Structures are given as C-alpha cells and as structure tokens.
Structure 1
C-alpha cells in the first residue's frame, strides 16, 4: 500500500526501481497534470493511493478514508475509471479543490471486491489471470 500526499513521497515513488514502471509513469503524469500551483502543498490538491496485491480491506479503507471494498461493491463511487492494463485508475472528486486517485493492481491477489468492480466496468478478461 502506498499513500502519496506530498512531493517528497511522489519523488520517492518515481525513483523507486522496485515499483512497477507503468505505475511510476502514471503517477508522474497525473501529478504533472494536477500539480500546477507549486505554492500550495500537494496534500491540499491531491492524494494518490496505490492498492497492491495482498492489501487487506481495512488498510485500503484507512488509506482512502472511506470503504471502497465492501459497501461500494454494487455501486462504485468513483467519478471516473481508466483501464491501463496492469493498473486501474479510480478518480474521486472529494471537493472542488481536492481529489484522490486510487491505482488498483490488476492481479489475482488484489482485494477481490475492488478488482471485481474494476473488471466489471472494463468488461475484459483480467490480464493476470490469463493462461
């Protein structure tokens, strides 16, 4: 689980060779697109949460601040969702000035309900489950 709320955390993620290269590119692109006023702290504009395989629902909910694995199973509450192959990108608009991006790994060990919601919107075969 990653929760990126400041520029130092974003820089650490972008320079971490252990982190998936596609994910690093997505994080870098979104921060570049959103972080246009460098005078404001990033935490006042955007939070990025990365849900990785094996992250339990409680940890995901704590990082996001509300349940996205249980209560939202039948009605996803994201504003929009992008399918990037190995990663799903969920956008939450929480106020007029603050948003959250949640990147969800398309992996069999990712929280089943959250991954199911993402796959249901994309209507595709899960990449990680293909044989």
Structure 2
C-alpha cells in the first residue's frame, strides 16, 4: 500500500468513527435509552448495556479523532477493532443482521490499516517519533 492510500483509508475510518460519536454525544441519554430498548429482549442484562451505551459514543469520538490526526494510530486502530467486535457481538444477540455488514467492513478497515501501519507517514505519530 502506498502512503497516500493509507492516509485516505485512515481518514475514511476516522471520519466514520468520529461522526458516529459526534452526533451521539449531544443526545447521550436518548442514545442510551434507545440502546437499552434495543437489547431488552436479548440475553444481555440492562446493567451491562447501560454503561456501554454511555461509553460507546465517547470511545467512537475519541478513536475517530485520534485516527484523523494520526496520533497513537496503532492503539486507536486496535481500540476501534475492539469496539466493532463488541458491536458485532451485540448485533448478533439482537439478530440485527442488516447492520452486520457495515460493522464487518469497519473491522476490515482496522485490520488492513494495522497490517500496513508502516505506511502511516502522514500522521502526528511520525512528527512525535512514535
């Protein structure tokens, strides 16, 4: 992969994560209520869904921001992949198969970017010697 391609892919996944978090942060309580309702018939107890529903937008926003500026890129990619794996698990528990492809595509982005991390030259990481 070349350095420009890497930057484009990092920006794409970064914008997706940043945008997901950004639009949910101002309506965090409503988002949490929606998520709890979505999982009410699943095997996950509410006491596990509630903290995750509040943490998710913050984690998405932070992961996206780090990827957009290229800071702690490896860690942000790993965090993004873990977030997506948790979302995939939740998606399967509520049998929402329609959103599964989007989550799988996100995981693929994270995996490819981790594999080609050496091409991450347009990033604050390189300026800071990380």
**TM-score w.r.t. length of structure 1:** 0.28
- Give the structure with the larger helix fraction: 2
Q: Which has the higher contact order (CA 8 A, sep 6+)?
A: 2
- The answer to which structure has the higher strand fraction is 1
When normalised by structure 2's length, the TM-score is: 0.29
Larger gyration radius, structure 1 or structure 2? 2
